[in-house]
Structure 1
C-alpha cells in the first residue's frame, strides 16, 4: 500500500493516513513495510514509583530447598588425595557434614534399543497364548518408540521447528537419526491418534454459552492459484474459549463457516467476532453476537487520524474503554452484569459521539481514503448497539475476540518460519494437533505426556467446563 496524501477539505487541513497495527487489523509485522506510516509512539505514563523487577508479594520461581523425602538421590562426598604431611586422606577421621548442596539436573539423553521377545505358552487345556507387544508398538519388526515420536511432533507443532531441524535436534540429543520422511509422517499418525480428543473439544465448545471466533489467511497447498482465484491461499478458522481451542482449515466462504463449530452452537449462544459478514449468516443458526471491541478501537484510532480536528472518535473510544474497564471490575466482584447506572452513563456518551460522527461524515467521501469504513462503523453503532454492548448485560461474554487472535497467532509464526505448507492434508493434521495441544495447555496439562500417551493408544480427553 502506498502512502496517500489527502487533498484539503472544508474545516480541515491536508493529512497523511496509512493503515498500521494501531489503527486497523494489520499485523505489527507489516508496520515496517514500504509506504506505511509507523504507529505513533505511545505517551509514557507517569512513573508509578514501583521498583523494577519482581514486586513485593508476587509469587517467585526460584529453586527451593528439598527435604529428605523429596530427594531422588543423596551422595556423601569426602576429601580425596593426600594431606600436606603426606598422609592419605582416605584414612582421616570423619568429622561429619559441614556443607550441603543440592543440584537440579537432567540426565544426558541417549537412545536405548530394547528387544522385546514375545513368548508363547501352551496351557494344559491345549490353548496357546502369546504375549502382547509393549504399548505403542506397531506391526513392524523395528521402529522408534512413543517418547521419541512425541518429542518430534511437539517440536514440529508447538515450536514450529522445520522437519530437517527436528532431525538435527533429535540426532544431537539422542544419538539416533530418524529420516525426514519419518518425522513428517508423524503428523498424520498423531492426528489420527488425537482425532477422538479433537471431536470431544468440538463438542464441548458447541455447548459453551460464549465463544470467540476469528480467521486468518495462510499460505497452504499448491503455490499456483486455483481457477478463478487471485491468490493461492487458504484460511485458518478458530472457534475457542478460555478452555478449548478448535481449528478448521478451509477458505473464507460461507460453506467453510458452516463447517466450523459456530454452526453447532445452541440457539442463543454468543459468538464474539469482528464484523466480517459471514459471521452474521443465518446459515450459522440463531446466534447472538458480540462485536469485537479490540477491532473497533483500532478502527477508531484510524478515524482519529482521518478526522484530526474532530473529538468524536476519541470520545467514542474512551467510552468503550471505560465500559470494558468497569465490566472487568464488576467481574472481579463476582457480579453477573454491569450496574445499570454505570452502563447508562456510558451508553449516553456513546450515542452522543455516534450522532456527532454521523453528522460530521458522509456516506461517500472520495477525498479521504478510509472514510467509507469509518462511516460504516458509525452506522453499525447506530443500528447494532446491542451487538456492541452485549458484554455489559452478561459478564460471561468477553468484549473482545482477543482469545481467538492469541490462538491464531502461532499459525502466523509458523508461516514466517517455514513459509508455505504445500501438503494440504498434513497442514490440516498439524492444526488438529495444534488445537488439541492448545486445549491441553489451557487445562495446565503436559502436552508431551499427552502426545506420548496418544502414541500408546491412550487418548487424553478434556474435562467439561463448570457451569
Structure 2
C-alpha cells in the first residue's frame, strides 16, 4: 500500500474519531441539561411534599398523622393551668337556692336517744347545680268575640303582634333552631333531633330551613349597617378569602372584619371582580391587613399592612427546604420587633426613633445577605433566559418591595402583626363544610354568611348570641352597630 493511501486512511480515521467525539460531546451536554432540569424538578417536588402548615399557607388539617410540625409559638415559661392572680371560675354556693332538702337526724348514733325534738345547732351545706326537666310551654291566646247589644256588630279582640297562625312556634324555639344550625354548625337533621330530645318539640328540617331564611331576610338592613361600619372605618380592617363549595361548584368566601364587626360574602370569583362587586375595598380609606394577595394591592385609596404570620411560615420553608441561612435571622428579627411592640403598646403608639432605625438597619442588612446568598446558590440558573425565580428570591423581592407594609405594626401599634383575625373569622366556614357538608344552594350559602356575620359581630360586642337571635324574630332587633 502506498504512503499516500496510508495517510488518507489515517486522516479519515481521525475525522471519524473527531465526529464521534463531537457527537458524544453534544449528547453529554444534552444529558447534563436534562439532569439539571430533572434535578430541579425533583427538588421542586420534594419541597412540595415537604410543605406543611408550619412552612406554608396549607391548613393544619392537611398535615395528616405524620410527625407534628414545629409551632411558631414560643414557650411562655408559665406552668400549665390557672396563673397566679387569675380569677377562678369554680362553683360557688348560691345565696338563693331554688330548692332546699333537709336531711334530719332522728336518733343518737351511740345511745339511740331520739333527737326529733332537738333544735339543730347548724347545717352542713352542699349544693348541686343541675338543669331542670325542660318542657315546652304552650301559651293559648283567646281573642274574645262580643256582639254589641246596640248596633248588633260583632267585635273581636286583637291578638299580640306576631301571633298570626292557629298554631305557631315562639321566638325562643326559632332562635334555638337558627343558633344550632348557623352558629353551632349542626346539620338540620341532627338539629331537629336535638330539639326533640331536649324540648319534646318535633321540628321538621324544612321548618328549620324556613326559619333560617326568615332570619336571613330580617337581617338585611343590619348587615348593610355592618358593611357600612367596616367600609367607613379609618382603622385596620382584615381581608381574606377561602374556597367553599356551593351547589357542587368551587366558589370563594370573602371576609372583611375588625375587632367589632364581621362581614362575609360568597362569590364565584376570588380576585378583583369579586372585591369590586362587594364594594368595601373600592371605598375603604383605612389600613387593609392581608396576605399580599395581588388583588388587594390594586386598591390605592387605602394603606396596606401585610400578615407577618404568613411571612414567618415562608421563612421556615426557606430554612428547611432551600437550606439558605438568611431566613432564620429575618424570622428572629420580626419576632423580636413584635416582642418590643408588645412591651410598649400600653405606653406609646410607636417605637422610639432610635429603636425603629436600628431595626430597619438590621432588616436591610439581612435582605442584602439574602440576595447575595440566593444569587450564589442559583447564579447558574439565573444566567439562563426565561428561568423561573427561586422561592427564596420571590420572598426576598417581596420583603424588599413591601418593607413598610411588613413593618407597619412597628410604626403604628394599632396595626396588628398578622392577619389571624380574618383567618379565625373564616375558620368556621371550613368547619361548617366538614361537619355539615357543602352548601347545596346559593340561598343556603347566603343565609349562612349573613347570619354568621351577624352572630360574629354581636359576640365581638359582648352580647348574648341567643338573645340577639331572638330579637330578630321580634319587632325590636338588636343592631350591634348601634351598641357602643
TM-score by length of 1: 0.83
The structural deviation recorded for 1:124 is 11
Shift in Å, 1:40: 4.0
Cα drift, residue 24 of structure 1: 0.7
Helix, strand or coil for the counterpart of 2:453? helix
Larger radius of gyration: 2
Match of 1:276 in 2: 293
Match of residue 61, structure 2, among 29, 33, 36: 29
Separation in structure 1 between the aligned mates of residue 423 and residue 81 of structure 2, nearest angstrom = 28
Query: Following the alignment from structure 1 to structure 2, what is the Cα–Cα distance between the partners of residues 256 and 123?
Result: 64
1:244 to 239, 249, 261: 261
Instruction: Determine which structure has the larger helix proportion and give its number.
Output: 2
Do structure 1's residue 207 and structure 2's residue 232 form an aligned pair? yes
Pair 15,218 (structure 1): closer, same or farther in 2 beyond 3 Å: closer
- After TM superposition, give the deviation of residue 77 of structure 1 in Å: 2.0
Q: C-alpha displacement at 1:175, in angstroms?
A: 0.9
- Partner Cα separation in structure 1 for residue 304 and residue 202 of structure 2: 51
- 2:478 counterpart of 1:460: yes
Of 288, 292, 312 in structure 1, the residue corresponding to residue 307 of structure 2 is 292
Aligned position for 1:419: 437
Instruction: Go from structure 1 to structure 2 and tell me whether the alpha carbon gap of 1:190 and 1:311 turns closer, same or farther (over 3 Å shift).
Output: same
Residue aligned with 1:79, SS? coil
Which segments of 5 or more consecutive residues in structure 2 lack a partner in the other structure? Answer: 1-35
2:319 to 293, 304, 307: 304
- Cross-structure match for 2:171: 146
Looking at structure 2, the residues matched to 45 and 321 of structure 1 have their Cα atoms a distance apart, in angstroms, of 10
| Pairing of 1:188-203 with structure 2 (within 5 A) | 188-203=213-228
The count of residues paired between Structure 1 and Structure 2 equals 435
* Structure 1 residue 86: Cα displacement: 11
Output the CA distance in 2 between the equivalents of 1:87 and 1:259.
Answer: 87
2:420 pairs with 1:402:
yes
* 1:421-460 matched pairs, under 5 angstroms: 421-460=439-478
| Counterpart contact for 1:218–1:234, Cα < 8 Å | yes
Q: Secondary structure at the match of 2:174?
A: helix
Question: How many angstroms apart in 1 are the aligned matches of 2:465 and 2:372?
Answer: 54
* Mapped pair 1:344 → 2:357: yes
Deviation at 1:425, TM superposition (A): 0.9
Q: How does 1:77-156 map to 2 (within 5 A)?
A: 77=102, 79=104, 92-95=117-120, 97-119=122-144, 131-134=157-160, 136-137=162-163, 139-156=164-181
What secondary structure sits across from 2:415 in the alignment?
Answer: coil
* Alpha carbons 2:53, 2:59 under 8 Å: kept: yes
The answer to whether the aligner puts 1:157 opposite 2:182 as a matched pair is yes
Q: C-alpha deviations, 1:96-124, integer Å up to 9, x for none? A: 64222333332211112221112367899
- For 2:301 and 2:180, locate their aligned partners in 1 and report how far apart those are by CA, in whole Å: 40
Contact 2:253 2:264 (8 Å CA) reproduced: yes
Distance of 2:431 and 2:271 partners within structure 1: 24
Distance 1:396 1:40 in 2: 31
Report the secondary structure of 2:345's partner residue: helix
Q: Secondary structure at the match of 2:239?
A: strand
Change (3 A) 1:14 1:179: closer
The whole-number CA distance in structure 2 between the counterparts of 1:42 and 1:263 is 33
Query: 1:24 and 1:121, CA in 2 relative to 1: closer, same or farther beyond 3 A?
Result: farther
> What secondary structure does 2:305 align onto?
strand
Aligned residue in 2 for 1:166:
191
Q: Structure 1 residues 465 and 99 mapped into 2: Cα distance closer, same or farther (>3 Å)?
A: closer
State the 1:337 CA deviation. Answer: 1.3
2-side partners of 1:330 and 1:125: how far apart?
83
Q: 1:333-361, CA deviations, whole angstroms, 9 ceiling, x for partnerless residues?
A: 2x111222222121111111212222333
Secondary structure of the corresponding residue to residue 445 of structure 1: coil
- How far off is 1:28 after superposition? 0.5
Answering whether residue 235 of structure 2 is matched by residue 235 of structure 1, we say no
Q: Deviations over 1:369-393 (max 9, x none)?
A: 9964432221122222222122222
Which residue number in structure 2 is paired with residue 325 of structure 1?
Answer: 339
Residue of structure 2 equivalent to 1:178: 203
C-alpha separation in 1, matches of 2:341 and 2:46: 36
Residue 264 of structure 1 deviates from its aligned partner by 5.8
Deviation, 1:140, is 2.3
Q: 2:244: which partner in 1?
A: 218
Is 2:278 aligned against 1:260? Answer: yes
With over 3 angstroms needed to count, the CA separation of the structure-2 counterparts of 1:61 and 1:295, relative to structure 1, is: same
